[in-house]
Structure formats: structure tokens, C-alpha cells
Chain A
């Protein structure tokens, strides 16, 4: 089968094509995922950029699950323990992630409460589900097409970093609001577990080899 041409576009969006493509693997080549150069199968390192060459990271799933589990374990205390300790003259207030968002919503800032809930609850939980689904979908038949699953992977990879918002908010508040006895804000233990959870799930997404999504031919064109 001959090679397909690259799709060249000036402006505008790409066309959806269901044309079958030739893969590097089917030609006995291994692609460098860093610099896109191809090499004969069996070469271990890319001679251009020095990255390790693997046709498919078949064992990468173990790594994905390991990071995924670490992320999930860290996510539990991140929701139970307080994220912020606010001390004012008369009281000390400890708020968790969800508690803090509810507090903001009660003050009428629904937009900001929504940002926090989306970044700290919806995105992490969605990410756990999405990564697990993608990893499981490689082993069994699923109804979602390869195109849709690849889109899901791209979304997970792009959006995962944004969960760090809450950690940065805690960092900003704790450095800014240090006004001796009147008011001070300090980070709670959840800040560190939440940051770890975000980092671990990012590593899980980065360990996933998206090329495996496309490997099963009858699934890629349902």
C-alpha cells in the first residue's frame, strides 16, 4: 500500500478523513516520538535526538496504572484535609477544597466557585475516569472510535495541568495574607497531597502511549 500524503492546510480546520494510513510499524520501522524521525525496527536509540525508541510502549500500561493509583491515593486526603487555614482576629477557619468553593459561592462569586470546582474536582475526577477508560479500552472492544478516544486523550493531556490552579491559589494567599494578628492564611496538609495527585496523574497521562489507541484496525473504522 502506498503512503498517504500529509494534509497541507493554510487556514481553517482539517478535513475528517477515514482514509486508511500506513503505519511506521507496518513498514518495519520504529518512529521516534520526540523528533518524528523513523529508524529500522530494532534500533534502540534515535540517532538524531537520542531518545529511546520503542515501537509501542506495551509495558507502559503498567506505568500508567501505577501513576494513576498513586494519584488516586493522594486525591483522597486532598479532599478530606484542609487546604487553607485562615486566621483572623476572632476566629480560625479551616477550609477544604469543596468547602472553600462553597464559601465563595455563598459570597456570590459563582464564576470563581465554578472555576475552583471545575479545576479541583471535575477535572481530576474526570481525568481518573478517562485514563482508566483509555487504558482498559486497549484490552477490550469498546464502542468509542479511535478518533474519539484519541480526542479524549488529547483533552486529558491538555487539561490535566490546569488542576494546579488551587495549589497556586494557596501559595499566593499564604504569601500575601501575612498581616500579623489581624489576618493570616497558611497552607493546610491538603495542599501538598493535592499537588502530588495532580503531578502523578500528569505522569500517568504522559506514560500512556497514544499510538496503541490506533492499533486495532477493525476498531479504528467502526
Chain B
């Protein structure tokens, strides 16, 4: 366990150029942005928000994971997710069907919201991350709109709810277990894998490094 405790630095903020400063978004504490070694994390000493978290080869890995999110989601959306059997009757449902469950009547808006939360937003985020990182990883200048794209991806983060959907499935299974027999379809396992991949991908992303690499002034 390597723990280097914080020590007072002699440098004064007025001497450090603004571009080398970093402020904690949670508590406004100001620091001299010194990137830690790969694998280490730089935390705000006051509220322990992780501010910088570089990983070796993170860019390429994040792209690979984001691409697999898109592929898995394609399968997970349209293959049967759960199958139910009651008294000889049979019905299979895909994630797509679940999203469209509210289409009848006044609940269309809810259908759109559910589809967005569990399918569209996770896929869109994966796509945006690839769009932002692909040129950066290969040392090209960012593609047009990359800054807006990454901002959108970050804004959408709390609204990506694939993992919550998986828990919802578990609850739904128990709810109808005495009404009918339920089997998992292939999409269930794809969706479960998807949640793991999204979590790993988020862990590899160092926001500070990405914003720095998109910085127009710094690239000049």
C-alpha cells in the first residue's frame, strides 16, 4: 500500500499558470495538477473526489470496451430476453419489447424514457466515447465536435441505467415465478456482460486526461 500523505507545497497559485491548476468540482479546492504515475490516483485532500486517474494504455482499452458495448447492446436488444410459459402458452420478450411495454395509451412517453435509459443512452455514450478517443489515441487532432460530444457523454452518465435494469429483471422473475415458468434467453447473458463491460470502461476513463488531450490551446 503506497500512501503518500499530503504535504504543503511551497508554490503559490499566483506563480503557477492557470492551465496547470485543477479545482475539485465537488468542493472547489484548488491544486497544482501534478499527474500521478499510471495506476495511482490523485484525490482531493478535502472531499476525496478522484481528480486524476491515469492508466497505461487506457485509451485503446476504453475504445475496445466501448465497441463491445455497442455490439453486445445490439444483440441484447433484439434477441429474446426472457421466455415465459403458462399452461402451454408461450411468450418471449426482448429488451426492445420491454421498452415498448408502455406504448399503448397515454404512457408512450414512459416507453420512450425506458428505451432511452436502458438502450439508447448507453449506446450513445459508447459511440461518443469512441468518437472522442479514437483520434486522440492515434495522436491525431480531435474530430470536429469532439468537445461537445464528450460533454454530452458526461452529462448523460447518470441517465445510463443498464445495470439497474438487470436488477429489475431479477425482481421481475421472482414476482411471476408462481404465476408462470420463466427461462432466460440469450440476451439476458449479453445484457449481464454489458453491465460488467460498462463498469470496467468507466473505471478506465480518466476525465482529466481526456479533457487535457482535447484542449485546443495545449495542442498548439
The interface of chain A, by Cβ under 8 A from chain B, is: 2-12, 14-15, 17, 19, 21-27, 29, 31-40, 47-51, 86, 88, 100, 104, 107, 109, 112, 115-116, 147, 150, 157, 161-162, 164-180, 182-183, 185, 187, 191-192, 195, 199, 202, 206, 210-211, 213-214
B93 part of interface (Cβ distance < 8 Å)? yes
Judged by DSSP, the binding face of A is mixed
- Distance (whole angstroms) from the CB of B205 to the closest CB of chain A: 13
Q: How far is the CA of A39 from the CA of B215 in the complex (A)?
A: 14
A14: B residues at CB distance < 8 A: 43, 48
Q: Are A187 and B21 in contact (CB under 8 A)?
A: no
Q: Are B48 and A177 in contact (CB under 8 A)?
A: no
Please choose the segment from B60-68, B100-108, B192-200 that sits at the chain A interface, where 4 or more of its residues have CB less than 8 A away: B100-108
Q: Are A176 and B91 in contact (CB under 8 A)?
A: yes
Q: Are B43 and A33 in contact (CB under 8 A)?
A: no
A-B pair count, CB < 8 Å, reads: 297
Q: 23 pairs across A/B with beta carbons < 8 Å?
A: A2-B9, A4-B6, A5-B6, A6-B34, A6-B43, A7-B43, A9-B3, A11-B1, A12-B3, A22-B30, A31-B23, A36-B208, A37-B22, A38-B30, A88-B179, A166-B171, A174-B101, A175-B97, A179-B90, A187-B101, A195-B110, A195-B113, A214-B29
Q: Are B3 and A5 in contact (CB under 8 A)?
A: no
Q: Are A21 and B30 in contact (CB under 8 A)?
A: yes
B43: A residues at CB distance < 8 A: 6-9, 14
Q: How far is the CA of A183 from the CA of B88 in the complex (A)?
A: 12
Of residues B26, B168, B176, B180, which shows the largest number of chain A Cβ atoms within 10 Å of its Cβ?
A: B168
- Distance (whole angstroms) from the CB of A162 to the closest CB of chain B: 6
B97: A residues at CB distance < 8 A: 175-176
B207 part of interface (Cβ distance < 8 Å)? yes
Q: Count the B residues whose beta carbon is within 8 Å of the partner chain — how many?
A: 96
Judged by DSSP, the binding face of B is mixed
Which residue on chain A has the smallest CB distance to residue B89? A179
Q: Are B117 and A164 in contact (CB under 8 A)?
A: yes
Sample of 11 more A-B contacts, CB < 8 Å, known A5-B32, A6-B51, A179-B89: A6-B6, A27-B30, A48-B214, A157-B158, A169-B168, A172-B101, A176-B82, A185-B176, A192-B109, A195-B113, A211-B26
Q: Are B179 and A7 in contact (CB under 8 A)?
A: no
Q: Are B168 and A172 in contact (CB under 8 A)?
A: yes
Q: Of A7, A171, A185, which contacts B42 at CB under 8 A? A: A7
Q: Are A177 and B4 in contact (CB under 8 A)?
A: no
Q: Of B5, B40, B174, B179, which contacts A177 at CB under 8 A? A: B179
